[in-house]
Amino acid sequence: MAEVTDTICLGESATLTAVLGGGSDSIVLSWDGIGSNQNQVSVSPNQTTVYSCTVHDPLTGQLDTAVYQIYVQQCTGGLHEDATVPFMIFPNPNKGKFSVVGQEMITQVKVFDAQGKLVHQGFPDKQEFSLSLGNQPAGAYSVEVVTAKGIYRKSMVLAP
């Protein structure tokens, strides 16, 4: 079972992407509490909410569930870091160069644009490292890190 944690400001939305398993083209998706069978869904919770997505492959019998916990916080004057997510991004906003500092070893990092497209992937195996996304356009991005304790996401802004 995959676990994903993200933090958003009240009034923002988050895009949840199913963790696809199986092995055939007959995969069936089911998002609890959302009623969708799409690969990606957009949510705008007013309070911290847990969503789950079950992926079932009736051809192979494979069944997997991913849990997405979205923390909602009051934000004034921009993005705020949430202490429940064990890494920081700074500076945020930035102009394409930023650092990631984790409370534990980060084994994988992915950066997604606002449409959910993967724009960077790396395997740092460090608690602290720097990234450069200077070739990406200004806008909102999501930084996902993988540690031994789970998968965590934070929002980041590339300034013009």
pLDDT score of 20? 66
Whether the bond into 58 is cis, omega within 30 of 0: no
Contact assessment for residue 94 and residue 158, using Cβ atoms and an 8 Å cutoff: yes
Contact assessment for residue 141 and residue 156, using Cβ atoms and an 8 Å cutoff: yes
pLDDT score of 109? 95
pLDDT (tens place) for every residue of the chain, 160 residues total:
567 777 777 778 888 877 765 566 778 888 887 877 788 888 888 888 888 888 888 888 888 888 888 877 766 544 444 556 788 898 888 899 999 998 889 999 999 887 778 899 999 999 999 999 988 998 888 898 888 877 788 888 888 7
Which domains can be identified in the chain, with CATH numbers? 2-73 (2.60.40.10), 87-158 (2.60.40.1220)
pLDDT score of 77? 46
pLDDT score of 12? 80
Residues ≥6 apart with Cβ < 8 Å to 105: 125, 126, 127, 147, 148
Q: Kindly state the tokens that stand for 106.
A: 């980060």
pLDDT score of 132? 94
Its pTM stands at 0.54
